[in-house]
């Protein structure tokens, strides 16, 4: 499992380095991207041993065309050595709600009592779940300034789902070459495009 994680980190570093190279022909760059994706897919297909690491990993992201506007969310779940991808669409929403929905949809697809590591590029989501939530609940869902907490219903849903699991929240910088985060962004944006086309 540790070797697998090291390989993913190595792939991320290679991708970041490729983005800084400007003198490669476009064809060569495209081929390298294809090769990296192929390696990534092969790693995904390798069966891991859940007895070695029972932790389920979730990556999530959200996107919005206009804020508010049509929105999409994407989430990737790594469980029992397999990756699964999910996405969805809302016709009128906000970017923050889509970020939160991506995480919530991932959590809901895991068994109660699971150990989860959730990675997102939303500081709003991470800080909400790790720093602000207790205070909001103590103050009857009011912020420090006495105003009502925005997006209360989805915060409550996240709180209820997270309370049934052991979750570690991690933040990653968005659009910075992180493979799973970039893929979640694609899932979210594709969900918007597909819904708008239909």
Estimate the crossing angle of helix 152-162 against helix 95-108, to 10 degrees.
20
| Confidence grade of residue 81 (pLDDT, cut at 50, 70, 90) | confident
Give residue-wise pLDDT tens across range 135-191: 999 999 999 899 999 999 999 999 999 999 999 999 999 988 899 999 999 999 999
Alpha helices in the chain (DSSP H): 2-20, 26-45, 95-108, 123-127, 133-138, 152-162, 179-197
Q: What is the helix, strand, coil percentage profile of the chain, to 5?
A: 50, 25, 25
Catalytic residue positions?
61-62, 99, 121, 175, 185
> Count of alpha carbons within 13 Å of 135, Cβ hemisphere only?
14
Band (1; pLDDT cuts 50, 70, 90)? very low
CA distances from 105 to 5, 85, 161 (A): 24, 11, 10
Alpha-carbon distance of 152 to 160, in angstroms, equals: 12
Inform me whether the pLDDT recorded for 6 exceeds 90.
Answer: no
Helix 179-197, helix 2-20: angle, nearest 10: 70
Q: pLDDT per residue over 108-117, tens digit each? A: 999 999 999 9
CA distance 79 to 82: 5
62 closest CA partner among 110, 122, 108: 122
Query: Per residue in 23-80, pLDDT tens?
Result: 666 666 666 767 776 666 666 555 555 555 679 999 999 999 999 999 999 999 999 8
pLDDT given at position 148? 96
Task: Assign domain 56-197 to a CATH class.
Answer: alpha beta
Q: Among 193, 175, 140, which Cα is nearest to 19's?
A: 175
Percentage of residues of the chain with pLDDT beyond 90: 66
């Amino acid at each position: 499992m540790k070797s697998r994680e090291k390989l993913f980190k190595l792939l991320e570093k290679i991708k970041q380095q490729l983005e800084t190279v400007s003198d490669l022909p476009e064809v060569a760059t495209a081929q390298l991207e294809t090769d990296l994706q192929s390696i990534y897919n092969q790693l995904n297909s390798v069966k891991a041993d859940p007895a070695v690491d029972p932790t389920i990993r979730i990556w999530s992201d959200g996107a919005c065309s206009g804020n508010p506007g049509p929105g999409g969310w994407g989430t990737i779940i790594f469980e029992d050595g397999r990756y699964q991808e999910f996405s969805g669409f809302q016709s009128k929403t906000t970017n923050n709600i889509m970020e939160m929905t991506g995480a919530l949809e991932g959590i809901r697809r895991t068994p109660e009592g699971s150990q989860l590591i959730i990675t997102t590029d939303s500081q709003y989501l991470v800080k909400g779940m790790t720093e602000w939530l207790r205070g909001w609940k103590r103050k009857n869902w009011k912020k420090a300034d006495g105003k009502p907490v925005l997006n209360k219903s989805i915060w409550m849903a996240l709180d209820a789902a997270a309370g049934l699991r052991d979750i570690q929240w991690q933040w990653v910088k968005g659009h910075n070459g992180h493979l799973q985060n970039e893929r979640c962004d694609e899932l979210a944006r594709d969900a918007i495009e597909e819904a708008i086309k239909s």
